[in-house]
Amino acid sequence: MKFSIPLFLICQFFFIGIQAQDNVTIAHTEQFELVSEYAPSKDIVIKVFLPYTYHKDENIKFPVLYLTDADVFFGAATDLSYFVDYGKPSHITVGISYGSFEQGWGQGAKRNLDFYSDKFIDFFEKELIPKIESKYRVDPSKRIFFGWSAGGYFGANYLFTKTDLFQNYILAGIPLIPRLGLFEKEQSFYEKNKALPVKLFMAVGGSDQLVSPDRFKEFVNIIERRKYEDLMFTNEVFERMGHNYSTAISALEKGLVFILKGHSIYELLLKEIEENGIDTAIALYRSIKTNNPEDYILNENELDNLGNFLIKQNKLEEAITIYSLNLETYPNSARGYFRLGEAYSKKGVTKLAIKNYELSLENTKNENRRKMTMEVIEKLKNKD
């Protein structure tokens, strides 16, 4: 006799099981309350994410990301720390939380921008930053501010009125409405200062209905025309995104990469190849590597990805040049030789393809990769 359980009973059992679970705690996090003299919500919950390397070496001091609207963004920010730092988080995240999204600066109706902006500066300068820098091993010269929407306005306000409070800014969806006066604050700052020693990433959704992308571009153009000394600045318009979570998290990810790692050499060289050719791009790369390598991401992945893109565009000569350039820095890279072998194979230069596949074989102990590479070499030899 067949025995069956009605679906609704299975569902009931399933949901009872879900309801019975305890709250999930994000790994490597802790939190504490901070009684504030300046915040509109007097009791602020501070959420802290510590890299798992934090307790391994007591001599290391870490950059700190100060994250507004942590009730919304803290979980995503901790996840991003792993991806941005290739699985080894290298910065502390400090989230400012109010218990729920509605309690703090989260809703425009509840955070009076004109009034709370100055108080928020005092909250950071006099309460939060001293607390964090006395409690944790942080590098006070590497403070990062993240703000989205009204939080982005707060950050832009600090940028031009309290410049030395943070050295790095990620600002997204800034409400550039006339009454907030950010254009005027930037003008006033420029009249007194020709240097702006910060790293600044700004972003907006291309379909943002609350923040005009055109006003954003106008603001960006002004900053770029100033040619501020010591400013590292980049920006992005996320097409088909609005004033929403996706824009904020995309900005946080790209901003962290820019601040912690530098400009993408991939994007710079690709533009140079398209505009001026491969030889000029190579000369630019060598100049950057010699003179200001700290400003760019110069790891193996960047050039590898650039070569892969050129292969897809059927620009085989350019791809071969980029793969060869990568091998100058990483001469024992099995992946590098394999990529170069693929490029020569696609070009029909079989001898050089086999040579580089064999070099790849010499530089790897991974059995699966060795087997795959030997199969490729065998096919090429049989083809001849």
Cβ–Cβ < 8 Å for 345, 380: yes
Mind listing the pLDDT tens digit of every residue in the chain (384 residues)?
444 444 444 444 444 444 545 555 677 889 888 888 887 666 688 999 998 888 888 888 999 999 988 888 999 999 888 877 665 668 999 999 876 544 444 444 344 444 456 778 888 999 999 999 999 999 999 999 999 988 898 899 889 988 889 999 999 999 888 888 899 999 999 999 999 999 999 999 998 877 888 889 999 999 999 999 999 899 999 988 999 999 999 999 999 988 888 778 888 899 999 999 999 999 999 999 999 887 788 889 889 999 999 999 999 999 999 999 999 999 999 999 999 999 999 999 999 999 999 999 999 888 988 999 999 999 998 876
Residue ranges and CATH numbers for the domains of the chain are: 23-261 (3.40.50.1820), 265-383 (1.25.40.10)
Count CB atoms within 10 A of the CB of residue 45. 18
pLDDT of res. 104: 45
pLDDT, residue 220, reads 94
How far apart are alpha carbons 203 and 209 in whole angstroms?
14
User: What does the alpha-carbon distance between residue 204 and residue 169 come to, in Å, rounded to a whole number?
Assistant: 14
Q: Buried (b) or exposed (e) across 18-30, using 16+ Cβ within 10 A?
A: eeeeeeeeeebee
The pLDDT value recorded for residue 88 is 65
Pick from 272, 204, 274: which is nearest to 240 by CA? 204
pLDDT at 51: 87
Signed CA dihedral, 114, 148, 74, 267: sign only: negative
How many Å apart are CA 149 and CA 221, to the nearest integer? 20
Backbone phi, then psi, for 239, in 5-degree steps? -60, 145
pLDDT in the model for residue 351: 94
Strand ranges of the sheet holding 92-97, from the earlier edge strand across to the other edge: 29-35, 43-49, 92-97, 62-67, 138-148, 168-172, 199-205, 232-238
**Predicted local distance difference test score (pLDDT) of residue 204:** 94
In eight-state DSSP terms, residue 102 is: G
8 A C-beta contact, residue 337 and residue 327: yes
Alpha helix segments (H runs only) across 42-180: 70-84, 113-122, 129-135, 150-161
Its pTM stands at 0.71
In 10 A of CB 384, how many CB atoms? Answer: 7
